[in-house]
Amino acid sequence: MTVPPVPAGLLAGRRLLITGVITKDSIAWHVAARAQEAGAEILLTGFGRPKRMTQRAAKTLPTPVDVLELDVNNPDDLVAIAKEIDERWDGRLDGVLHAIAFAPSDALGGNFLETPAESAMTAFQTSAFSLKALAAALLPALSKSEHGGSVVGLDFDAQVAWPIYDWMGVAKAALEATSRYLARYAGPHGVRSNLVSAGPLGTIAARGIPGFSQLADGWHEAAPLGWDGADPTPTADAALFLLSPMARAISGEILHVDGGVHSCGPVGHGPPAPAAADAPAS
């Protein structure tokens, strides 16, 4: 299917901070690329060894951009990035994409009953608490946005217990609750918080989950609209909408971009094939 063009000017003049870019396959990379096409000015973040991969990916954007250091679990980095935004953009930030998640290997892949508390807490801190930590650090800058600041996080539907997703699924449930509370407490500052809940996509992060194919297989058949796990652009476009002034009265929402699976039951129980048309009466 042909990818539709981004509406011209959707994000004109908007300044966005995009986390979570590792390679050109990352959902966050596509958000960044589509945001530039929509007129936004962006910065990326990265840290540690993967930062070099982020820097390479940044050079492949329509307009190459800088990559700022950010370990979202490091309070000093959060202070530093808020200061960087203040110096580069006069303290005004219009939106931030939270595309950060991590769980140790023993918290995934069917190890739910054996996972130690330390691994579960790591998944929670990095994948859920970090949404609050990042938003709180950037709240003064986001509150200066002309049409309201926007925090958008990437989610995976936490309404059910998925196979092999285990404590990452619990962390995503915490992410959803965190976004709702963030909507409550950031709202008086003119800042909204929303999530995009995507179907399984073949990113480098997803491929690192043991048994990921077990979760992804059959999604296309279960989705009323079908599902292309190799195409991140529908997810990216939903994030663009939530980052834009078009979503200025939306907060605490979870926008599902999964082909409709969330509304139709688990994978493997897709809609029946259309019945054959009745033969005309003789």
- Residue pLDDT, tens place only, 24-39: 999 999 999 999 999 9
From the list 144, 172, 181, 185, the catalytic residue is 172
Looking at residue 275, its pLDDT comes to 43
**Cβ pair 209, 165 in contact under 8 A:** yes
User: Count of domains in the chain?
Assistant: 1
- If one compares 278 and 23, the residue with the highest pLDDT of the two is 23
Domain-located, residue 190: yes
Q: How far apart, in whole angstroms, are the C-alpha atoms of residue 197 and residue 201?
A: 11
Distance, CA of 16 to CA of 7 (rounded, Å)? 17
pLDDT at site 90: 94
Mean of per-residue pLDDT scores for the chain: 90
Judge whether residue 45 has pLDDT over 80.
yes
165 among known catalytic residues: yes
Q: Is residue 7 assigned to a domain? A: no
pLDDT (0 to 100) of residue 280: 39
Helix ranges restricted to H, the chain: 27-37, 51-58, 75-89, 117-124, 130-142, 166-186, 204-207, 212-216, 219-222, 233-243
Its domain, for residue 146, covers: 15-263
pLDDT digits (tens, 9 = 90+) for 55-90: 999 999 999 999 999 999 999 999 999 999 999 999
Of all residues in the chain, the percent with pLDDT exceeding 70 is 88
Is residue 210 a contact partner of residue 103, using CB atoms and an 8 Å limit?
Answer: no
Rounded Cα distance, 68 and 18, in Å: 10
CB 127 within 8 A of CB 156: no
pLDDT over 60 at 267, yes or no:
no
32 Cβ contact partners less than 8 Å away, ≥ 6 residues apart: 16, 18, 21, 42, 44, 61, 65
Whole-number pLDDT of residue 221: 80
Report the CATH number at residue 251: 3.40.50.720
Name the one residue in this structure whose structure tokens are 């619990």: 170
The answer to whether 194 and 242 are in contact (CB under 8 A) is yes
Convert the pLDDT of each residue in 138-166 to its tens digit: 999 999 999 999 999 999 999 989 888 99
pLDDT tens track for 186-236: 999 999 999 999 988 866 666 666 666 766 677 878 888 887 888 899 999
Per the annotation, the verdict on 59 as an active-site residue is no
pLDDT band at 259 (very low <50, low <70, confident <90, very high): confident
Residue 166 lies inside a defined structural domain of this protein: yes
- pLDDT category at 266 given cuts 50, 70, 90 is low
Instruction: Point out the catalytic residue in the list 83, 165, 181, 185.
Output: 165
- Residue 282 CB-density burial (10 A; 0-12 exposed, 13-18 middle, 19+ buried): exposed
Residue 166 burial (CB count, 10 A)? 27
Q: Among the ranges 2-16, 118-132, 251-265, 266-280, which has the highest mean pLDDT value?
A: 118-132
Whether residue 134 is contained in a domain is answered as: yes
Distance CA 193, CA 154 (A): 11
Position 271 pLDDT exceeds 60: no
Q: How far apart are CA 269 and CA 282, in angstroms?
A: 37
